[in-house]
A = this chain, B = another copy of it.
Amino acid sequence: MKSADDYRVPGFLANGIHTGIKTDGGRDLALIFSTRSATAAGVFTTNCFKAAPVLLDQERIRAGVAQAVIANSGVANAATGPEGIADALAVSRAASTELGIVDQRVLVASTGVIGHRLPVRKIEAGVKELVAGLHADGIPDAEAGIMTTDRFPKIACRKRAIGGKEVTLCGIAKGAGMIQPNMATMLAFVMTDAAVERDALDRLFRQSIAGSFNAISVDGCMSTNDTALILANGFAGNPSIKRGSRNAARFGEILAELLSSLARELVRDGEGATKVIEIAITEAKTRRDAQRIAYAVANSNLVKTAFFGEDPNWGRIISAAGSLGIDLPADRVCLFLEDIPIFAAGKGIGGREEELAGIMKRPEIRVRLGLGMGCRSWTVCTSDLTFDYVKINAHYHT
């Protein structure tokens, strides 16, 4: 276990409390606060039915500065019309008033059931306690406040030197996925004490998300509420990172590593998941082709149930890959389970069934499909489809 110390980011305080939105007594309201104004960037769902907090944040994030994030679990405040926007504004105002900061510097997020109004009174009543309890070791409490069907918290931190100073990045996440995936809403908040210029932060955050949260898949669904935010408050004292600089590349690498680690945890915690499966599509003509095929395989219920059944049913993998209208050369395509070739020259390769059966029992499995068409590739992490997935999602209350 990590000590709370590992989850500290200079200049950031956090907290998470129970206000009564969740009926099980769990924490349902989280706050992240930077003691000084921070550079900020955000990436949001591309769903047409964006939740009220997403619409509000998209407006506010344009300024590129923020100081607090208040997020609730239990109710998504999505499909709630103009009243939903008013509710999100009321929550923001409650937080900014109690914190004594400009309201425009508060970002909001919600996750939970779609179509229900936010219980604003409960949240307003809780904000005093929420702010009073802010503390430097509060990041795990904030994480608890945004969890819904998550079975375990997802927190990751990195400390590295940039420009002669030690910088800290710490991220929390809930749900399972974004853009492609999202069985539940994905929320991710990253705090860093690095000093980063606004446009550099925006660009690096988008790039890192493309290779992490956008490269995982649990059930191919996209939520109305997916929100990823980053706040960089500059407490580390490094020379402010500029777009295109060597330090920007360095910061981007650390950020990508942090987000990938959180993304992998999201897949591992995919609703009902028992396995993490890495699907690599290589030798594609275009990256777009590789992505489309990777998602088709990763989202195929037949592929996902085969992994749950621990059955090396490679026919389902090539069948999914071949179903998109992308003209694949059936005789040049090669399929590997870990390093074992199982399909090539248009047919299956037998003889190593025992080894394959052993691999299928592992909790993490790598699949590679070489298309023999070019040199672009894409990798997606997915989970298996299990009885528990059906159970959780058939009975999740609306």
Contact = CB atoms under 8 A, between A and B. Distances in A.
A320 B221 contact: yes
Contacts of A355: none
Contact of A390 (B81, B223, B386): B386
Contacts of A343: 79, 115
**What band does the interface of chain A fall in when counting residues whose beta carbon is under 8 Å from B?**
35 or more
A311 B398 contact: yes
A38 interface: no
Most chain B CB atoms below 10 A, which of A79, A224, A348: A79
Interface in A365-398: 385-387, 389-391, 393-398
Contact of A224 (B315, B385, B393): B315
Contacts of A316: 114, 221
A183 interface: yes
Contacts of A389: 301, 305, 390
A330 interface: yes
- Each complex incorporates copies of this chain amounting to 2
A219 interface: yes
A321 B49 CA distance: 9
Given A220-B301, A398-B313, A84 B347 contact: yes
B79 A301 contact: no
A221 B300 contact: yes
A102 B309 CA distance: 45
Interface of A: 46-50, 76, 78-84, 113-115, 183, 219-224, 299-302, 305-306, 308-309, 311-316, 318-323, 325-328, 330, 333, 343, 345-348, 385-387, 389-391, 393-398
Given A308-B390, A313-B396, 8 more contacts: A76-B315, A80-B347, A81-B345, A114-B318, A115-B314, A183-B301, A301-B385, A308-B394
17 contacts: A46-B323, A79-B348, A81-B346, A81-B347, A82-B346, A114-B316, A114-B319, A183-B301, A221-B319, A222-B320, A302-B393, A305-B389, A305-B393, A311-B394, A311-B395, A386-B394, A387-B390
